[in-house]
Structure formats: C-alpha cells, structure tokens
Amino acid sequence: MIKLLHVEDDADIREIAMMALELSGEFEILQCSSGSEAIAKARAFAPDVFLLDMMMPGMTGRETLDQMRQDPMLASIPAIFMTARAQHSEIEELLMNGAAKVISKPFDPMALPDQIKQAIQKTDTTK
C-alpha cells in the first residue's frame, strides 16, 4: 500500500480524489484541508508521497512542502503538485524545484492512481 498525504482545500475535489484512489485499492490515504493541518499530521502519518494542491488559502502547496522539507524525516518524500493555473512557466519552475510531477486541473480521476505511481517510480529511479 502506498501511503499518500493529500492536501486540498476543496472538499469536493478531496472526495473525488479519495474515491478514485480507493477504487484502485493501492493507497492508504490521509486527507488534510490546509497546509498547516498537513504539517501537523505528516510526521505521524509518515507518507510515501505528498499530493499537494498549489493554490490554497493561508499556506500554498509550495510553502507547505518547503516547511515539511525542513523536517529530515519528511525531506526526501516525493511531492506531486496539483494546479489549476497550469501556466507552463509555473509547471517548469515546480519541476525544477524538486516536484516529482505536476498534475493540471481538471484531472482525470481514473488516471490519477497511475499518474501517482509513475511519479513515485520515476523518483525512485533517479535517486
């Protein structure tokens, strides 16, 4: 089972992602509605991968990851971003700064489990 920490402020999107990932039967999921909640729970959950929404009120996905990276236990966990802005330059910048993958919204829920698995594999091979 892949332990995935999903941070997303939109409850509907959380539910759709949860449903799609549960259907694959390969994920153990913890969902948080904000970056601060994720930071508070990440260490205890010890995820294999982060799935972070970029645009969130308070703390953005990027800021959330930056904070979690300061914890040595969480520093090397691959992170996947979801963004509704999908600006080419923004995607490039996230990839350049260590993102394992950037998924544009709207995403295909049925393709989501495979996208996450591929990103983890890619990170493993590059380590």
Partner 1 sequence: MTKFTKLKSSTAIAVLGGCGLAGAYYAASHLLLSGQAAAVFPALGAIAIAGTVPSFLMSMSAARQCRDTRFTMGQRLDAFGKHACINVVDDKDKLVEVNEKLLKLTGYDRDELIGQPVTYLYNDIEKEVAAEIRHSLRRGQSWEGETRLRRKDGRVVFTQSTIMPLFDSAGKWAGSISVRTDISRTNELIAERHTAQTLYELRDDIWIIDSDTETFSYLNRSAEKRFSTSSSGYRGRSLLEVDHIGYTTEVLKTCREMRANGKAVTRLETVLLDTPVDVSIKFLHGTEGSGRFLILITDISEPVEQEKHKADFISTVSHELRSPLTSIKGAMGLLLSKSAGELPDKAISLLEIAHRNADRLVLIINDILDLDKITNGGMEIELKDVDLAALIKETDQANAMLQQRFGVKVQLTGIDLPVPLSTDPNRFIQVLTNLLSNAYKFSKPGSTITIEVKDEDTNVGVFVTDEGHGIPQDEQHKIFSRFSDMANSDRALKGGTGLGLNICQAIIENMGGTIGFESTEGRGTTFYFHLPKVSPQRKNTVEDLAASTA
Q: Which residues bind partner 1 (CB under 8 A)?
A: 10, 12-13, 16-17, 19-20, 23, 55, 84-89, 92, 105-110
Looking at the Cβ atoms of 19 and 40, the one nearer to partner 1 is 19
Looking at the Cβ atoms of 24 and 41, the one nearer to partner 1 is 24
Residue 45 CB, shortest distance to partner 1, in Å, is 24
Structure tokens at 38: 């994720």
CB neighbours (10 Å) of residue 91? 19
Residue 56 CB, shortest distance to partner 1, in Å, is 11
Taking only Cα atoms into account, the Rg of the chain, rounded to an integer number of angstroms, comes to: 13
Burial 36-57 (b: 16+ CB within 10 A, else e): bbbbeebeebebbbbbbbbebe
Looking at the Cβ atoms of 58 and 106, the one nearer to partner 1 is 106
Torsion 103-9-97-48 (CA) sign: negative
Residue 111 CB, shortest distance to partner 1, in Å, is 9
Residue 86 CB, shortest distance to partner 1, in Å, is 8
Looking at the Cβ atoms of 73 and 106, the one nearer to partner 1 is 106
Which residues on adjacent β-strands are paired with residue 3? 28
